Amino acid sequence: MPNTKSQTPVLHARAARPALAAPACRKASAEQVQDGADTSVANRKSQISTCDGQSLKRALHAAGRWLERHAAVVNAINVFPVPDGDTGTNMLLTMNAALAEIERSPDDSVSDVAQAAAHGALMGARGNSGVILSQILRGFAHSLDGETILSPRAFALAAQEAHETAFRGVINRVPGTILDVAREAARAAQEAATRTEDIVEVLTEVVETAKATNILTQEQNPVLKEAGVVDAGGQGLVYILEGVLRYLQGESVEIDTEMEAVVDLKSTLGVGEEGYGYDVQFLIKGEALNVDEIRKTIDTMGESTLVVGDATTVKVHVHVHDPGVPLSYGVSQGVISDVVVENMEEQYQEFVMSRARETVATEEVTNIATVCVVPGDGLRRVFESLGASAIVRGGQTMNPSTQEILNAIESVDAEDVLVLPNNSNVVLAARQARDLSSKHVIVVPTKTIPQGISALLAFNYQADAETNADRMARAASEIQTVEVTRAVRSTQINGIEVTEGDVIGLFNDQLVAAGQDYTTVVLDVLSQVAVEDYEIATIYFGQDATQEEAEALADQITQTYPDLEIEVHEGGQAHYRYILSLE
Amino acid sequence: MPPVKIVVDSTADLPPDVTADLDITVIPCLIRFGDQTFREGVDMSRAEFFARLQTDPHFPGTAAPAPGVFEETYRRLAAETDAVVSIHLSPQYSGIFNAARLGAEAVADSLRVVLVDAGQISLGMGLITMVVAEAARDGASLQEILDLLDDLKPRTHLFATLNTLDNLRRGGRVSGLVARVGNLLHIKPILHVHQGQILLHDRVRSWERAQWHLVETVRTMAPFERVMLIHTQRPEAAQALGQALADLLPPHTYTFEVGTTIGIHVGIGAAGVAFIQAR
């Protein structure tokens, strides 16, 4: 392509070429390029108004280091399109591949540096954001072909082509992404280039616009809005542009003066520069504690250090990879207490996933609702986790009314409704509710909680209501239910003498055992079942039992049936101390 | 006319002897543990990978091959052929397809590259790729290969039971599906992959019952033209499926292991069946 842009008149540096600074200390990982001796700008205070190949090279290095400083933040806000928390890492690896190629390239005109960066990024692009970054650099380089000086006008044209190339590089474009940031940055560059011949002024405008545009992404993309974050790729591009500007302005990218907001975000997320580790907090109590000395020592162990206190009590907070290190040190200084150790990776993952939970992917949707009658908060959570659309509270001795079930049927946003009564005494009320409703309602006559869980598990998002009702009824029939409670009156059933207050065991709603103690009765019921035919027993303990008691029961069952896998869940139901399922 | 060349990315999970035999060019995806990056099937064996998956504190990341790697590969093939059929994972699940598209555009002046969304993952894609590569070896034209793909895709299914939901959850790619499985009970989801959709076919609480459900479903879809038994570090489960389906298996039914990129997302201990239904 013929190139005439290099004839554009440009002003030359209004300050002397930047003095070469000493190489800065920086972590070098396997992926990172070797720092050239001239890439640090830590000590440079001068400012330049145009940019030759050497300066472009250093500016891109500065951009890489600035992105590196903020990669963890970019990772943390990565919820779109895939909430896997690696946008910062991917952009950084892509940028590092570009920088490594620049180092390998023998020539350093603006054109050569840009070409090398583009080639390196193209070969080393990682992830969606990395691919887009590679396309930005490709367009940028293509436009700068033959240029020796990066004038404001050349930059503006290159920014425009960078955006256009990146735009073409994405198949499924949605509003509120790095593409918007690239587009607006290019527009700002063009506007600024008509007003000034100073590349620093142009970049200043570009960075301001890029930041403002990326803030808007949160409003444009519903996934970002839901998660309360800006676009991660867009933010990565902001850091890259900002790094370039910082270099041109003679500001450091090594010593961070604008980290306040970032530090705040990072401590919220528990994401450190070194990746994830442990957040350790404790108090040291003693006599004549040396706060300064402790602070100094703790500071060498990790980051985000906070050490405050006096001669008798010192509060320590630090992020480390091995919590044993600061804790052992604390013990050497005095008596430690109030120890809190948190795994920051777990917190971080939970944070990202909780933000991403509502993300609706491109998957099948159903318009069939399920209404489930459930006693107890624990069981409610189980049913909700399995996708129950509405829960009606109720069960043994607290049967819900027809009206309550009908209200739930009417409340769900679907015309097809499947009702799971989960108790033999609720089936009738559910059928009455069905007859009263104008919706298409099918009652799947589940008689116990385990049957209901089994039925709900069998719900198929692709099938219609009738098919689902059949599947669910069949699934309910495949599960065995054991319930234990206390007899409310003396009686004789199935040849078993029951005295009021006895523990009684029911197998699929039939009384089969009675005794004085819960564990004995449960084992008695199981002895009447071919337990070896089943793989998993699940114990849902009621509101009168504790987790420990349920686990002790599980241990007892394991001793008798070592092949049976046992899960314990809080059911929170009244009346039944334990509900067990066998499947 | 030189034969059409078949390119696929490493998520097709075909073993190296098969790809070498059928002259299939495989472009490796990238696996990242912390700061270290590996090319799938090139820098790290599956055994090493799965051992590390269980011990490394970092949950690995996966990334598509760079557009430049596709471009380079296509350029190399341009010396041998006029046409390439490049088969990849659906763009809705991965950036691989887009990277391939950018690579193909860069070589458009010297080579015809037809990109195909396999509508499948792992060995579902591998199966389609094998059949197409056999046709290419036997001299099928580009158009014949594309027609064959149109014919194969609707007939190709993959069913698999996952042993754990953790990997799918952490991988973040099918969060809607993951949310539907439910997180309180230790549920084994049975996934069904067909025509680009990854569907939750069933949710079952015990492995044995899940496999029984899977076999029951698969049996209703017989007869089969091709079948592959697949697993992640659980050959005995694939073998058990083979026994349960023995009367329906066509000749040349292989048992293959799912590779590292897909393995990260489905986790260890998964097993299933990929098949092409008979016409």
Of A135, A170, A55, nearest in space to A102 by CA: A55
> Would you call B207 and A125 a contact, using CB atoms and an 8 Å cutoff?
no
pLDDT averaged over every residue in chain A: 82
Q: Which residues of A touch B187 (CB under 8 A)?
A: 457
Determine, yes or no, domain membership for A466. yes
Res A500 pLDDT > 70: yes
pLDDT attached to residue B209: 87
In this structure, are residues B102 and B67 in contact, taking their beta carbons and an 8 Å threshold? yes
Q: How far apart are CA A73 and CA A77, in angstroms?
A: 7
Res A172 pLDDT > 90: no
Both A377 and A463 in a single domain?
yes
Determine, yes or no, domain membership for A103. yes
Number of domains present in the structure of chain A:
4
Quick count: other Cβ atoms within 10 Å of Cβ A340? 11
Q: pLDDT band at A263, cuts 50/70/90?
A: very low
In this structure, are residues B189 and B200 in contact, taking their beta carbons and an 8 Å threshold? yes
Both A570 and A430 in a single domain?
no
CB crowding A99-116: b at 16 or more within 10 Å, else e:
bbbbeebeebbbbbbbbb
pLDDT attached to residue B33: 86
Res A9 pLDDT > 70: no
* Strand order from edge to edge, sheet including B83-88: B24-27, B5-9, B83-88, B112-117
> Would you call A31 and B67 a contact, using CB atoms and an 8 Å cutoff?
no
Res A255 pLDDT > 50: no
> Would you call A385 and B182 a contact, using CB atoms and an 8 Å cutoff?
yes
Mean pLDDT of A18-34: 34
pLDDT attached to residue B57: 80
> Would you call B37 and A565 a contact, using CB atoms and an 8 Å cutoff?
no
Q: Range of B266's domain? A: 155-277
Of the residues A68, A91, A95, A126, the best mutation for testing chain B's interface (the one with the most B CB atoms within 10 Å of its CB) is A126
B78 beta partners: none
B76 vs A: CB within 8 A: no
Which pTM does this prediction carry? 0.74
Determine, yes or no, domain membership for A263. no
CA distance A193 to chain B (A): 31
> Would you call A131 and B98 a contact, using CB atoms and an 8 Å cutoff?
yes
Number of A/B CB contacts below 8 angstroms equals 152
Mean pLDDT of B4-29: 97
Full 3-state SS string of chain B: CCCCEEEEEHHHCCCHHHHHHCCEEEECCEEEECCEEEEECCCECHHHHHHHHHHCCCCCEEECCCHHHHHHHHHHHHCCCCEEEEEECCCCCCCHHHHHHHHHHHCCCCCEEEEEECCCCHHHHHHHHHHHHHHHHCCCCHHHHHHHHHHHHHHEEEEEECCCCHHHHHHCCCHHHHHHHCCCCCCEEEEEEECCEEEEEEEECCHHHHHHHHHHHHHCCCCEEEEEEEECCCHHHHHHHHHHCHHHCCCCCEEEECCHHHHHHHCCCCEEEEEEECC
Cis peptide bond upstream of A2, omega within 30 = no
> Would you call B205 and A583 a contact, using CB atoms and an 8 Å cutoff?
yes
Coil/strand/helix, residue A232: helix
pLDDT attached to residue A20: 35
CA distance A381 to chain B (A): 8
A567 vs B: CB within 8 A: yes
pLDDT attached to residue A39: 43
Q: Which A positions 270-309 lie with beta carbon below 8 A of chain B?
A: 275
Both B87 and B24 in a single domain?
yes
Both A119 and A216 in a single domain?
yes
Q: Which helix (H) or strand (E) holds A550?
A: helix A547-560
Both A407 and A505 in a single domain?
no
Q: Which B positions 152-181 lie with beta carbon below 8 A of chain A?
A: 169-177, 179-180
B25 beta partners: B7
CA distance B27 to chain A (A): 13
Mean pLDDT of B110-134: 97
Higher pLDDT: A348 or B181? It is: B181
Mean pLDDT of B186-194: 92
Mean pLDDT of B57-78: 92
Please state, in angstroms and as integers, the Cα–Cα distance from residue B78 to each residue in B26, B70, B72, B107, following that order.
16, 12, 10, 9
Both B163 and B270 in a single domain?
yes
CA distance B193 to chain A (A): 12
Quick count: other Cβ atoms within 10 Å of Cβ A222? 15
Nearest by CB to A82, from B173, B177, B205: name it: B173
> Would you call B185 and A387 a contact, using CB atoms and an 8 Å cutoff?
no
- CATH code (residue A334): 3.30.70
**pLDDT tens figures, A187-202:** 999 999 999 999 999 9
Q: pLDDT band at A47, cuts 50/70/90?
A: low
Determine, yes or no, domain membership for A423. yes
- CB proximity list for A338: less than 8 A, separation 6 or greater: A281, A282, A283
CA distance B120 to chain A (A): 15
Q: Which helix (H) or strand (E) holds A580?
A: strand A578-582
* Strand order from edge to edge, sheet including A416-420: A390-393, A368-374, A416-420, A440-443
Which of A4-18, A313-327, B202-216 has the highest average model confidence (pLDDT)? Answer: B202-216
In this structure, are residues B9 and B26 in contact, taking their beta carbons and an 8 Å threshold? yes
Of B278, B220, B223, B230, nearest in space to B256 by CA: B230
- CATH code (residue B100): 3.40.50.10170
pLDDT attached to residue B112: 96
Nearest by CB to B61, from A29, A89, A538: name it: A89
pLDDT attached to residue A219: 86
In this structure, are residues A205 and A156 in contact, taking their beta carbons and an 8 Å threshold? no
pLDDT attached to residue A566: 93
Q: pLDDT band at B10, cuts 50/70/90?
A: very high
CA gyration radius for chain A? 33
Mean pLDDT of A395-415: 88
pLDDT attached to residue A367: 85
Nearest by CB to B67, from A122, A453, A460: name it: A122
pLDDT attached to residue A28: 34
Name the closest residue on chain B to residue A124, using Cα atoms. Answer: B66
Coil/strand/helix, residue A427: helix
Q: How far apart are CA A398 and CA B172, in angstroms?
A: 41
Name the closest residue on chain B to residue A571, using Cα atoms. Answer: B184
Q: pLDDT band at A78, cuts 50/70/90?
A: confident
Mean pLDDT of A361-387: 81
Determine which of A398-402, A444-448, A451-455 has the lowest per-residue pLDDT on average: A398-402
Nearest by CB to B184, from A123, A135, A569: name it: A569
> Would you call B199 and A135 a contact, using CB atoms and an 8 Å cutoff?
no
Both B164 and B146 in a single domain?
no
Both A71 and A216 in a single domain?
yes
A420 beta partners: A372
CA distance A81 to chain B (A): 8
Res A13 pLDDT > 70: no
Where is the domain boundary, A258, A282, A303?
A: A258
pLDDT attached to residue B144: 97
Both A375 and A460 in a single domain?
yes
Name the closest residue on chain A to residue B95, using Cα atoms. Answer: A128
Rounded (10°) angle between helices A87-104 and A127-143: 40
User: And the tokens for B274?
Assistant: 């990929």
- CATH code (residue B207): 3.30.1180.10
pLDDT attached to residue A283: 84
Both A381 and A442 in a single domain?
yes
Mean pLDDT of A161-184: 92
Both B183 and B262 in a single domain?
yes
**pLDDT tens figures, B82-113:** 999 999 998 888 899 999 999 999 999 999 99
pLDDT attached to residue A351: 53
Q: pLDDT band at B53, cuts 50/70/90?
A: confident
Q: Which residues of B touch A359 (CB under 8 A)?
A: 175-176
Mean pLDDT of B255-275: 93
Please state, in angstroms and as integers, the Cα–Cα distance from residue A568 to each residue in A379, A454, A479, A555, B185, following that order.
12, 16, 17, 11, 9
Determine, yes or no, domain membership for A17. no
CA distance A118 to chain B (A): 10
Res B139 pLDDT > 90: yes
Of the residues B58, B92, B166, B185, the best mutation for testing chain A's interface (the one with the most A CB atoms within 10 Å of its CB) is B185
User: And the tokens for B210?
Assistant: 């899940």
Where is the domain boundary, A299, A332, A353?
A: A353
Q: Which residues of B touch A353 (CB under 8 A)?
A: 169-170, 172
**pLDDT tens figures, A127-165:** 888 999 999 999 999 999 999 999 999 999 999 999 999
> Would you call A457 and B205 a contact, using CB atoms and an 8 Å cutoff?
yes
Both A75 and A223 in a single domain?
yes
Where is the domain boundary, B153, B172, B202?
A: B153
Both A187 and A301 in a single domain?
no
Determine, yes or no, domain membership for A21. no
B34 vs A: CB within 8 A: yes
Give the burial class of A557: count Cβ atoms within 10 A of its Cβ; 0-12 exposed, 13-18 middle, 19 or more buried: buried
Res B179 pLDDT > 80: no
Both B125 and B222 in a single domain?
no
Both B199 and B132 in a single domain?
no
Which value does ipTM take for this structure? 0.81
Mean pLDDT of B199-211: 90
Determine which of A500-509, B77-86, B231-240 has the lowest per-residue pLDDT on average: A500-509
- Dihedral of the CA atoms A369, A373, A374, A377 (nearest 10)? 60
Both B30 and B148 in a single domain?
yes
Res B164 pLDDT > 90: no
Both B138 and B233 in a single domain?
no
Both B78 and B180 in a single domain?
no
Name the closest residue on chain B to residue A345, using Cα atoms. Answer: B58
Q: pLDDT band at A48, cuts 50/70/90?
A: low
In this structure, are residues A515 and A484 in contact, taking their beta carbons and an 8 Å threshold? no
Mean pLDDT of B170-196: 84
Where is the domain boundary, A353, A374, A391?
A: A353
**pLDDT tens figures, A269-305:** 333 334 457 778 888 888 888 888 888 888 888 776 7
Both A78 and A149 in a single domain?
yes
**Complete DSSP assignment for A144-161:** TTT-SEE-HHHHHHHHHH
Determine, yes or no, domain membership for A334. yes
- Nearest-5° angle of CA B186, CA B188, CA B189? 130
Both B161 and B131 in a single domain?
no
Q: Which residues of A touch B202 (CB under 8 A)?
A: 458, 460
Q: pLDDT band at A358, cuts 50/70/90?
A: very low
Q: In chain A, what percentage of residues exceed pLDDT 70?
A: 83
Res A15 pLDDT > 50: no
In this structure, are residues A344 and A277 in contact, taking their beta carbons and an 8 Å threshold? yes
> Would you call A125 and B61 a contact, using CB atoms and an 8 Å cutoff?
no
B183 vs A: CB within 8 A: yes
Coil/strand/helix, residue A313: strand
B32 vs A: CB within 8 A: yes
> Would you call B36 and A30 a contact, using CB atoms and an 8 Å cutoff?
yes
Coil/strand/helix, residue A389: coil
Q: pLDDT band at A226, cuts 50/70/90?
A: confident
Q: Range of A425's domain? A: 364-477
Both A220 and A107 in a single domain?
yes
Mean pLDDT of B188-202: 93
Number of domains present in the structure of chain B:
2
Where is the domain boundary, B133, B153, B173?
A: B153
A357 vs B: CB within 8 A: yes
Nearest by CB to A83, from B36, B172, B186: name it: B172
Both A396 and A496 in a single domain?
no
Checking A549-553 for CB contacts under 8 A at 24+ apart, the result is A549/A518, A550/A578, A552/A519, A553/A518, A553/A519, A553/A522, A553/A578
B58 vs A: CB within 8 A: yes
Both B102 and B55 in a single domain?
yes
Nearest by CB to A356, from B68, B97, B175: name it: B175
Q: Which residues of B touch A364 (CB under 8 A)?
A: 197, 199
Where is the domain boundary, B121, B153, B185?
A: B153
Determine, yes or no, domain membership for A359. no
- CB proximity list for A519: less than 8 A, separation 6 or greater: A552, A553, A556
Res A361 pLDDT > 60: no
Q: pLDDT band at A366, cuts 50/70/90?
A: low
Both B26 and B143 in a single domain?
yes
